[in-house]
Structure 1
Amino acid sequence: MEPTGGPRSGYRMRVAGPGRSRNGPRRTEADVGTAGRRGRTRLAGAAAVLTLLAPLAACGSGDDGGIPTVNLYYSPEQNLQKVVDDCNAQAQGRYRIAYRILPRAADEQRVQMVRRLAAEDSGMDVLGLDVTWTQEFASAGWLREWTGDRKAEAERGTLAGPLETARYEGRLYAAPKNTNVQLLWYRTDLVPQPPRTWDEMISTAQELKGRGQPYQVITMGAQYEGLVVLYNSLVASAGGKILNDEGTRAVFDAGAVRALDVLRRFATAGITTSSFTNTIEDQARLDFQSGAGAFQLNWPFVYPAMQEADPALAEKVRWARYPGVDPDRPSRVTVGGFNLAVSRYSRHPEESFAAAACLRDAEHQKFSAINDGVPPTIESVYADPEMDKAYPMKETILEELKDATTRPRSPAYQNISTVLSAMLSPPSAIQPERTAAQMREAAQDALESKGVLP
């Protein structure tokens, strides 16, 4: 099973050969700028952008025999074409969806869409947006709002956490297609019961180390989005905030400071891998599969990958809810996933909304979950018996999703993430109060588009 998602979307599983991950240190698209500044999001060099887009003209919104073509721009997903084909059959000639596959790397996906939307390209209709991009694109005026019956249909039965990622300033600008959360994976031959808190996990790992047994707690610590996701989950689990509810002011309150302390203690407890500060999702999976780890914090893609790579080890591994910060407060885990939005510049908006609704309906979410390993956003899908084999951990995933947290919701999130990943790295150097103060100032500058990003 191959991981194809990134730390923003959450890993997705697909049946394939050796894994290729969509992650790594996130680049800053300085040539594009931050699209989230209302009223200043159109790129000044429109002519230059159009020149860059010339090779893409063949992917325009040409219609075939009078049937409108709805261009779907989405990341690589092995079985999505089958969903597209089914929706085309259901459309009965009203429209035809054409699946335009975006690059595998998340940053490259965003760059392509930002450039084309800034140039008001009418060849883009339905957009597959990482959950962290919806507010940015909506604030730029590039998305059509979901209203009336469309909005009701998109919201019906959809889990609150994923749905929140599709909103901007109280309005719905996308429909959640799939989601994701990280779980705690643990060795039952080493740990009879999973730890409920980070303190308990750290002390258990130290005890295993003292007995000469596999002990490592393996997760993502490289300077990239995955480290921000780790910190964000700790902040929410501690009851803290990074930004205020409006996303206009950097807060970094007592809970955020406590999360920094937990992250520092974890990094200095002698229980991580030697490569912790360079570890991304797939490397964490491989490190755990080597047998040195007692715990792993990672996306559900590790389950089928382990079954394929080491069935004997897989028999000893179970899953549990992500550890919390306090014994009496359940953890809150950061959601990933993708949303479907309709471009403001689409020449076929009615057909595009209909196509997006079909692509993410309950039946197709179930199909994608079973065949591509992307957790559904519609709660009722989890109760379907067909999900049992593909998602034996579905109850734990659903439990976390019902109490999940989002990343800081701001059109400037790309800048904020870059700032935070730099200041959190390496975690062993964190000085909780001082680091929080520095991040508060830098994040506020990012919100106000000040300063030079790392």
Structure 2
Amino acid sequence: MSRFNRNLWMAGGLAAFALAGGVQAKTITISCGAVGAEKQLCEEGTQAWAEETGHEVQVVSTPNSATERLSLYQQLLAAQSEDVDVFQIDVVWPGMLAQHLVDLSQYTNGAEDSHFESLVANNTVDGRLVAMPWFTDAGVLYYRKDLLEKYGQAVPETWQQLTDSARVVMAGEREAGNDRFWGYVWQGRAYEGLTCNALEWIASHNGGTVVNTEGEVTINNPQAREALALASTWIDDISPRSVLNYTEEEARGVFQSGNALYMRNWPYAWSLAQSDDSPVKGKVGVVALPRGGDEGAHAGTLGGWQLAVSRYSANTEEAADLVRFLTSYEEQKRRAIQGSYNPTIPDLYQDQEVLAAVPFFGELFETFKNGVPRPSSVTGESYGRVSNAFFNATHQVLSGEAEPEQALTGLERQLQRLGRRGW
């Protein structure tokens, strides 16, 4: 038994002992997302902890849109509300929310040492561990193996190859009678998901990450303009115009129904595409996202979610214990096998049961380990405004309202003004 598991077992035993002695059971409230199987897996995990400790857990659903969820969290925390004890927070939020969150290092007994160092560092603000890694993410490319074989197309290495092969297969499938078939679906709504997609296009063209690690605005460059120009050609060609309002689930709905050749999404979509009632079960492959060209690089935006305890919780100790349980090896393993959620514990990428359930976890380990970070660390509390400006400028290009050079020049000026006031 590992040190963490032993400590967790002891904590559960002590809690049960205390409850047997007449201590009143507490009710812990946790916010969980509902993308894919997220809410179900969260409910199962929290129920297991509740049965072990004698406490109760109430799971609260939050908006699927990360942008809307952040706004809700900021309202609750600004009001110092006790309504939510444990928050599921995006990888780019620790710097923005740190002042409202408990330092978990006093409750973890060193459990964070078994997680990816980069994520622990990301979640540590001014020496305080304000969140524990729960699952990590990087954007990946889903494709129909059967259709690429049918039309003699190779798995694309570059975005141009994706564009060309999508046109070939889309034309063939439509000629065969499926006039709802599209070449490529992705997240194009003006929200954080578009920031992730656009960052991947630009980084894969060697165009940087909007703001560099020194805080310099780098977005207005030829490679970034080239990346956005290519993406804008997809609309009404290989991607439906409605993609400009897609989030993760809309894209998955089209792909999983059998009406798209390619899809950009997060790893969670794998288990759903492979479910018994999925029309594409057994027909799907997953690879790293394409390079920007022969000189480009594969780039998947670093995603993932953490668990944090509110400073305004009336049940801090119990909430922290729930976080320890949900981020443990055993619980992350269960979630990886059942829902293809990427563990934040490196050892799980060598676990044979995990690899049997999600084979590409091993093949794309480096993609997940070295995901392209959004510029949240350097911009701190200003990140929300940076991302908002970036995805709105990108959306203007994609919708035909602005040319790449015009949009990026305006974005550069906007971000430089923000930076002068101090990130």
Which deviations, in whole Å up to 9, do the C-alpha atoms of 1:196-238 show, x marking residues without a partner? Answer: 1112212333444676687612222232222211111223333
Partner Cα separation in structure 2 for residue 301 and residue 439 of structure 1: 32
Distance 1:236 1:446, change over 3 A: same
The answer to which of 360-369 and 431-440 deviates more is 431-440
Look up the SS of the partner of 1:337 in the other structure.
Answer: strand
1:348-387 → structure 2 map (5 Å cutoff): 348-387=315-354
Which deviations, in whole Å up to 9, do the C-alpha atoms of 1:242-288 show, x marking residues without a partner? Answer: 12325x5533253xx41342232132153222433233322322333
Look up the SS of the partner of 2:209 in the other structure.
Answer: coil
| Shift of residue 322, structure 1, vs aligned partner | 1.1
Alignment correspondent of 2:158: 197
Partner Cα separation in structure 2 for residue 159 and residue 113 of structure 1: 26
1:78 aligns with 2:46: no
Which deviations, in whole Å up to 9, do the C-alpha atoms of 1:278-306 show, x marking residues without a partner? Answer: 33322322333454532221223443444
Partner Cα separation in structure 1 for residue 129 and residue 294 of structure 2: 36
Distance 1:89 1:172, change over 3 A: same
Alignment correspondent of 2:74: 114
Structure 2 counterpart of 1:335, one-letter code: L
Partner Cα separation in structure 2 for residue 342 and residue 439 of structure 1: 35
Partner Cα separation in structure 2 for residue 209 and residue 83 of structure 1: 41
Structure 1 counterpart of 2:138, one-letter code: V
Partner Cα separation in structure 1 for residue 347 and residue 302 of structure 2: 18
Q: Give 1:416's match in structure 2, choosing from 376, 382, 386.
A: 386
Identity of aligned residues (%): 25
Partner Cα separation in structure 2 for residue 284 and residue 188 of structure 1: 18
Look up the SS of the partner of 1:358 in the other structure.
Answer: helix
> What number of residue pairs does the alignment pair up?
378
- The answer as to whether partners of 2:203 and 2:297 remain within 8 angstroms in 1 is no
Alignment correspondent of 1:99: 58
Alignment correspondent of 1:427: 397
1:255-274 → structure 2 map (5 Å cutoff): 257-268=222-233, 270-274=237-241
Partner Cα separation in structure 2 for residue 331 and residue 170 of structure 1: 33
1:154 aligns with 2:112: yes
Structure 2 counterpart of 1:80, one-letter code: C
- The answer as to whether partners of 2:355 and 2:362 remain within 8 angstroms in 1 is no
Distance 1:203 1:413, change over 3 A: same
Gaps of 5+ in 1: 1-63
1:5-44 → structure 2 map (5 Å cutoff): none
1:175 aligns with 2:132: yes
Look up the SS of the partner of 2:352 in the other structure.
Answer: coil
Distance 1:79 1:402, change over 3 A: closer
Alignment correspondent of 2:210: 242
The answer to which of 342-351 and 71-80 deviates more is 342-351
Alignment correspondent of 1:436: 408
- The answer as to whether partners of 2:198 and 2:228 remain within 8 angstroms in 1 is yes
Alignment correspondent of 2:309: 342
Structure 2 counterpart of 1:177, one-letter code: W
Which deviations, in whole Å up to 9, do the C-alpha atoms of 1:17-36 show, x marking residues without a partner? Answer: xxxxxxxxxxxxxxxxxxxx
Distance 1:439 1:126, change over 3 A: same
Look up the SS of the partner of 2:290 in the other structure.
Answer: coil
Distance 1:151 1:171, change over 3 A: farther
Which deviations, in whole Å up to 9, do the C-alpha atoms of 1:344-388 show, x marking residues without a partner? Answer: 234454444333222211111112233344322112123223324
The answer to which of 97-106 and 396-405 deviates more is 97-106
1:296 aligns with 2:252: no
Root-mean-square deviation (CA, aligned residues, Å) is 3.3
Partner Cα separation in structure 2 for residue 387 and residue 234 of structure 1: 30
Look up the SS of the partner of 2:40 in the other structure.
Answer: coil
| Shift of residue 86, structure 1, vs aligned partner | 3.2
| Shift of residue 111, structure 1, vs aligned partner | 4.3
Partner Cα separation in structure 2 for residue 82 and residue 311 of structure 1: 23
Which deviations, in whole Å up to 9, do the C-alpha atoms of 1:107-139 show, x marking residues without a partner? Answer: 56444433332233456433221223222111x
1:252 aligns with 2:219: yes
Distance 1:314 1:449, change over 3 A: farther
Alignment correspondent of 1:87: 49
- The answer as to whether partners of 1:159 and 1:377 remain within 8 angstroms in 2 is no
Partner Cα separation in structure 1 for residue 139 and residue 252 of structure 2: 12
Gaps of 5+ in 2: 1-20, 34-38
Q: Give 2:286's match in structure 1, choosing from 319, 322, 326.
A: 319
Partner Cα separation in structure 2 for residue 379 and residue 210 of structure 1: 42
Distance 1:346 1:126, change over 3 A: same
Distance 1:87 1:334, change over 3 A: same
Partner Cα separation in structure 2 for residue 117 and residue 357 of structure 1: 22
Distance 1:83 1:294, change over 3 A: closer
Distance 1:272 1:335, change over 3 A: same
